[in-house]
C-alpha cells in the first residue's frame, strides 16, 4: 500500500542472538581513513562525483565535529594499504553522493526513443533507485531538500512523492522487499552506516546491524527473510559480503565484494555483486556466488572489461538477466566531432547502462553515452531504471530493456545490434568497453 504520510518512528534493535561474526582479510574496494599526510591532490566535482587526478573518489562534507574520510578505491588501481582500524571511527559525516558546483539547470524531458524521466528536481540530486514488485512505485534517495540524503517514495508516473525519512543523518540505498511491504536501507543515524528496515509508510524502523563496521547497500532475499549487504571489515578495513537472518539475527560473512543484489528466482540462492580483480587491471567486474548451506560457493565472473570498471549489477525480475553500468577509463576514449562532449568524456569517463544474460552472453547497451548513466534497477514493466543527468540535474530515468524494440517504435529502419566480443573498437565519445577481448562468457573461477 502507498504511504499515507511521511513518518519516522523510534528505532528498535533487531534480535542479537546466534550471531556469527566472521573476520577475514579481503581485497579493499572502499576504505575509511582519518587525516592523511599524503601529498595534496587535485580534486573537482562533476555530476555528484568527486574526482582526484581524474579518478573518482568520495569525500566527506563537514557534517559533524569529527570528520572522517570515505574513499572509494580507484577502479583502475590496486587496493590501498595502511588503513587504520575502524575501531577508531566514532562518527561518519560522509557525503555519499556529493553535490555539483554551481546552480543546477532545470530538468527537461529528452525525446530519445524509449527514454522516460520519472523524478524531477532543480536542486540536489536523486540516486539509488528501486522499483516495487508491482512496478507502480519508486524508491530513491535524494538531497533535493537538504545536504543529507533522505529516502523518498513516489508513483512511477512522477506523482504522489512522499518523503519517508527526515533527520540529521544520511539515509540511502533503499530497496523494496519481495512483497513490497518493507524497505531495507542504510543510515548513519547510529553514528556509522548501519542497515535498517521500515514499513513503506516510514514507520516501524528496525535496526538490523550494529557495531563499528560500515554496512551499506542492502538487498532482500526472494522470501524476504534475509538481507545481503556490504560491510567494511573491522579488522581488514576492506569490503565484505554479509547475510543477516531477520528471524534469528544471525549474521555471516559469505565472500568478498560490494553492491550485492539477491537473485529474485527462488529456485536458486544466488547473489550478484561487483568485485575488483586481484591480477591484471584490477578493475571492477561483475560476479555471482551461490549460497550453499549458508556458505558462498561457485564464485563466477560474469562480465569484465579491458578498459572500464563494470559496476552495480541488478537482476531482471525473472532472474535470467543482469543490468549493470560501465565507467570507461577516461584515457581510452577515442575521437569525436563534438569537442565539448569529447572533453567531458576524456576528463570524467563515459558511464553507460547495459544488460547481459546471467551466463554472460548477449550484452546490450541501453544508453547512448549522453551524460551520466548509473545505478540501474530492472523494473517489473521490463524497463531498466537508472540515475542520469541527461536532463540537467541527476534524476531517475528509465529505458526499455530491449532497445531494439525502442528503435522500432520510434520508426527507425535499423535497430542497434548487440555488442559482439572482440568486435571493432568504437570511436568517438561512445566507446565500447568490451572492445579488446573480455568475451563475457560465464567462467567458473573458484577461490
228 in Cβ contact with 271 (< 8 Å): yes
Q: What is the 3-state secondary structure (H, E, C) of 309-359?
A: EEEEEEECCCCCEEEEEEEECHHHCCCCCCHHHHHHHHHHCCEEEEEEECC
76 in Cβ contact with 329 (< 8 Å): yes
Q: Return all residues near 427 (Cβ < 8 A) that are at least 6 apart.
A: 334, 335, 336
Q: What is the pLDDT of residue 37?
A: 29
227 in Cβ contact with 218 (< 8 Å): yes
Give the cell for residue 374: 548509473
Q: What is the pLDDT of residue 412?
A: 44
Per-residue pLDDT of the chain (447 residues), as tens digits, is 544 433 433 333 333 222 222 222 222 233 222 222 233 333 433 334 343 433 343 332 333 333 323 333 333 333 333 222 222 223 332 222 222 233 333 333 344 458 999 999 988 999 999 999 999 999 999 999 999 999 999 999 888 899 999 989 999 999 999 999 999 999 999 999 999 999 999 999 999 999 889 999 999 999 999 999 999 888 877 899 999 999 999 999 999 899 999 999 999 999 999 998 766 566 899 999 999 988 888 989 999 888 888 999 999 999 999 999 998 876 544 444 444 444 444 455 789 999 999 999 999 999 987 888 999 999 998 999 999 998 888 999 999 998 665 545 444 444 444 333 333 333 344 566 775 443 333 333 222
Give the cell for residue 262: 539477491
What is the set of domains in the chain, with CATH numbers? 12-17+97-444 (2.120.10.30), 30-88 (no CATH)
SS3 content of the chain, % helix, strand, coil (to 5): 5, 35, 60
- Measured distance CA(215)–CA(195) in Å, rounded: 6
Q: What is the pLDDT of residue 430?
A: 58
From residue 133, alpha-carbon distances to 123, 137, 180, 377 in Å are 29, 8, 6, 12
Q: What is the pLDDT of residue 329?
A: 75
Amino acid at each position: 500500500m502507498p504511504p499515507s504520510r511521511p513518518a519516522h518512528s523510534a528505532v528498535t534493535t533487531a534480535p542479537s542472538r546466534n550471531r556469527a561474526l566472521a573476520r577475514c582479510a579481503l581485497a579493499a574496494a572502499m576504505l575509511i581513513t582519518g587525516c592523511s599526510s599524503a601529498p595534496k591532490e587535485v580534486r573537482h566535482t562533476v555530476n555528484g562525483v568527486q574526482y582526484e587526478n581524474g579518478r573518482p573518489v568520495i569525500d566527506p562534507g563537514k557534517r559533524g565535529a569529527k570528520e572522517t574520510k570515505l574513499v572509494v578505491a580507484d577502479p583502475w588501481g590496486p587496493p590501498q594499504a595502511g588503513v587504520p582500524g575502524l575501531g577508531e571511527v566514532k562518527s561518519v559525516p560522509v557525503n555519499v553522493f556529493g553535490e555539483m558546483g554551481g546552480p543546477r539547470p532545470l530538468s527537461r524531458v529528452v525525446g530519445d526513443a524509449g527514454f522516460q524521466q520519472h523524478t524531477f528536481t532543480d536542486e540536489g540530486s536523486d540516486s539509488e533507485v528501486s522499483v516495487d514488485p508491482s512496478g507502480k512505485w519508486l524508491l530513491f534517495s535524494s538531497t533535493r531538500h537538504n545536504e543529507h540524503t533522505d529516502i523518498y517514495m513516489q508513483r512511477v508516473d512522477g506523482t504522489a512523492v512522499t518523503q519517508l525519512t527526515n533527520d540529521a543523518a544520511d539515509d540511502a540505498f533503499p530497496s523494496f522487499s519481495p512483497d513490497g511491504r518493507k524497505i531495507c536501507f542504510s543510515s548513519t543515524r547510529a553514528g556509522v552506516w548501519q542497515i535498517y528496515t521500515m514499513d513503506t509508510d516510514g514507520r516501524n524502523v528496525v535496526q538490523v546491524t550494529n557495531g563499528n563496521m560500515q554496512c551499506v547497500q542492502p538487498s532482500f532475499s526472494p522470501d524476504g527473510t534475509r538481507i545481503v549487504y556490504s560491510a567494511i571489515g573491522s579488522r581488514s578495513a576492506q569490503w565484505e559480503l554479509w547475510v543477516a537472518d531477520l528471524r534469528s539475527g544471525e549474521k555471516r560473512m559469505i565472500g568478498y565484494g560490494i553492491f550485492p543484489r539477491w537473485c529474485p528466482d527462488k529456485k536458486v540462492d544466488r547473489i550478484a555483486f561487483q568485485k575488483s580483480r586481484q591480477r591484471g587491471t584490477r578493475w571492477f567486474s561483475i560476479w555471482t556466488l551461490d549460497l550453499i548451506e549458508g556458505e558462498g560457493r561457485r564464485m563466477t565472473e560474469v562480465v569484465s572489461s579491458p578498459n572500464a570498471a563494470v559496476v552495480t549489477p541488478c537482476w531482471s525480475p525473472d532472474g535470467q538477466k543482469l543490468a549493470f553500468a560501465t565507467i570507461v577509463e577516461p584515457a581510452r576514449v577515442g575521437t569525436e566531432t563534438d569537442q565539448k562532449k569529447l572533453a567531458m568524456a576524456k576528463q570524467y569517463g563515459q558511464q553507460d547502462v547495459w544488460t547481459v544474460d546471467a551466463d554472460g552472453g548477449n550484452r546490450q547497451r541501453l544508453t547512448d553515452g549522453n551524460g551520466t548513466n548509473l545505478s540501474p534497477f530492472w523494473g517489473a514493466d521490463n524497463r531498466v531504471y537508472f540515475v542520469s543527468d541527461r536532463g540537467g540535474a541527476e534524476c531517475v530515468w528509465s529505458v526499455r530493456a530491449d532497445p531494439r524494440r525502442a528503435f522500432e517504435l520510434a520508426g527507425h529502419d535499423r535497430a542497434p545490434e548487440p555488442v559482439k566480443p572482440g568486435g571493432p573498437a568504437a570511436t568517438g565519445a561512445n566507446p565500447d568497453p568490451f572492445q579488446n577481448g573480455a568475451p563475457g562468457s560465464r567462467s567458473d573461477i573458484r577461490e
